Chain A
Amino acid sequence: MSDTPLIQLVDVTKTYHLESGDFTALNHVSLDIMENDFVAIMGPSGSGKSTIMNQLGILDVPSTGELYIDGKNVAKMTNLERTHLRRDAIGYIFQKFYLIPLLSAYENVEYPLILKNKTRDTTGRASAMLEAVGIDKEKSEHRPNQLSGGQQQRVAIARALVNDPKILLCDEPTGNLDKKTGFQIMDILCNLQKEGKTVILVTHDPKVAEYAKRTIRLDDGRIAEES
Chain B
Amino acid sequence: MIGDIFLQLSVRSVKLNFTRSLLASIGIVIGVVAISTMGMLGTNMSLQVEDQLSASANTIVITADAIRMGPPGTSSSSSSSSGISKTQLNKIKAAVGTNGTVIPLYSTTTQFTSGNVQGRGTIYGMNPSDVNEFLTIGNGTNIAGINEALIGLSLAESIGVDVGDRLKVSSASEGPPTNSSSSASRATITVVGIIDDRGTVTDSVSTDNGIVVSKEWYTAQYGGKDQYTQVNVIVDDTDMITEIEDAIDARINTDEKKQSIRITDASSQLDTISSTLETLTLFCLAIGGISLVVAAVSIFNVMMMSVNERVQEIGILLSIGTETGEVRRMFLYEAFILGLLGAGMGGLMSIVIGYSVVDAMIGTTEYFFMPASIFYVPIGMFVGLVVCVISGLYPAWRASNMDPIDALRSD
| Residue of chain B at shortest CB distance from A84 | B321
Give the contacts of B1-51 with A (CB-CB under 8 A).
3, 5, 8-9, 12-13, 16
Residue from B319, B323, B326, B404 whose CB has the most chain A CB atoms within 10 Å: B319
B5 touches A98 (CB 8 A): no
Residues on A lying within 8 angstroms of B by beta carbon are 54, 57, 59-60, 79-80, 83-84, 86-88, 92, 94, 98-103, 107, 110-112, 114-116, 119-120, 159
Contact mask B368-410 → A, CB, 8 Å, 1/0? Answer: 0000000000000000000000000000000000001100100
Distance in angstroms between the alpha carbons of A114 and B405 in the assembled complex:
23
Contacts of A115 in B (CB 8 A): 320-323, 326
With A59-B405, A102-B9, A102-B12 known as contacts, the answer to whether A86 contacts B313 (CB < 8 A) is no
Distance in angstroms between the alpha carbons of A114 and B323 in the assembled complex:
12
Chain B interface main SS type = helix
B316 within 8 A of A: yes
B313 touches A101 (CB 8 A): yes
A114 touches B320 (CB 8 A): no
A92 touches B322 (CB 8 A): no
B9 touches A103 (CB 8 A): yes
A80 touches B323 (CB 8 A): yes
Distance in angstroms between the alpha carbons of A129 and B323 in the assembled complex:
24
| Residue of chain B at shortest CB distance from A97 | B316
When the two chains form the complex, which single residue of B313, B321, B324, B405 contacts A100, counting CB atoms closer than 8 Å? B313
**Interchain Cβ contacts under 8 Å between A and B, 16 examples:** A54-B405, A59-B404, A83-B318, A83-B322, A83-B324, A84-B321, A98-B315, A102-B9, A102-B16, A102-B313, A103-B9, A107-B5, A111-B320, A115-B320, A115-B323, A159-B320
Distance in angstroms between the alpha carbons of A86 and B324 in the assembled complex:
13
B405 touches A60 (CB 8 A): yes
Residue pairs across A and B with CB atoms within 8 Å: the count is 62
Q: A83-B323, A87-B320, A103-B5 are in contact. List 18 more A-B contacts (CB 8 A).
A: A83-B318, A83-B322, A87-B321, A92-B320, A98-B312, A98-B319, A98-B408, A99-B316, A100-B316, A100-B317, A103-B9, A112-B320, A114-B5, A115-B322, A115-B326, A116-B321, A120-B5, A159-B320
Distance in angstroms between the alpha carbons of A190 and B323 in the assembled complex:
31
Residue count of chain B within 8 Å CB distance of chain A: 23
A111 touches B5 (CB 8 A): yes
With A102-B9, A102-B16, A103-B9 known as contacts, the answer to whether A79 contacts B316 (CB < 8 A) is no
Residue from B315, B321, B324 whose CB has the most chain A CB atoms within 10 Å: B321
Closest chain-B Cβ to A116's Cβ sits at a distance in Å of 8
Closest chain-A Cβ to B223's Cβ sits at a distance in Å of 90
| Residue of chain B at shortest CB distance from A115 | B321
When the two chains form the complex, which single residue of B12, B313, B321 contacts A88, counting CB atoms closer than 8 Å? B321
A98 touches B321 (CB 8 A): no
A57 touches B321 (CB 8 A): no
B3 touches A86 (CB 8 A): no
Give the contacts of B222-270 with A (CB-CB under 8 A).
none
Distance in angstroms between the alpha carbons of A161 and B321 in the assembled complex:
13
Closest chain-A Cβ to B99's Cβ sits at a distance in Å of 71
When the two chains form the complex, which single residue of A86, A103, A110, A116 contacts B319, counting CB atoms closer than 8 Å? A86
Contacts of A54 in B (CB 8 A): 405
Contacts of B5 in A (CB 8 A): 103, 107, 110-111, 114, 120
Contact mask B57-100 → A, CB, 8 Å, 1/0? Answer: 00000000000000000000000000000000000000000000
Distance in angstroms between the alpha carbons of A88 and B324 in the assembled complex:
16
With A54-B405, A79-B324, A114-B5 known as contacts, the answer to whether A92 contacts B16 (CB < 8 A) is no
Closest chain-A Cβ to B136's Cβ sits at a distance in Å of 69
Closest chain-A Cβ to B7's Cβ sits at a distance in Å of 12
Contacts of B315 in A (CB 8 A): 98
| Residue of chain A at shortest CB distance from B16 | A102
Distance in angstroms between the alpha carbons of A133 and B16 in the assembled complex:
29
Distance in angstroms between the alpha carbons of A60 and B403 in the assembled complex:
9
Residue from B3, B316, B322, B326 whose CB has the most chain A CB atoms within 10 Å: B316
Contacts of A57 in B (CB 8 A): 319
Distance in angstroms between the alpha carbons of A87 and B326 in the assembled complex:
13
Contacts of A100 in B (CB 8 A): 9, 313, 316-317
Contacts of B316 in A (CB 8 A): 98-100
B3 touches A120 (CB 8 A): yes
A86 touches B320 (CB 8 A): yes
| Residue of chain B at shortest CB distance from A102 | B12
| Residue of chain B at shortest CB distance from A89 | B321
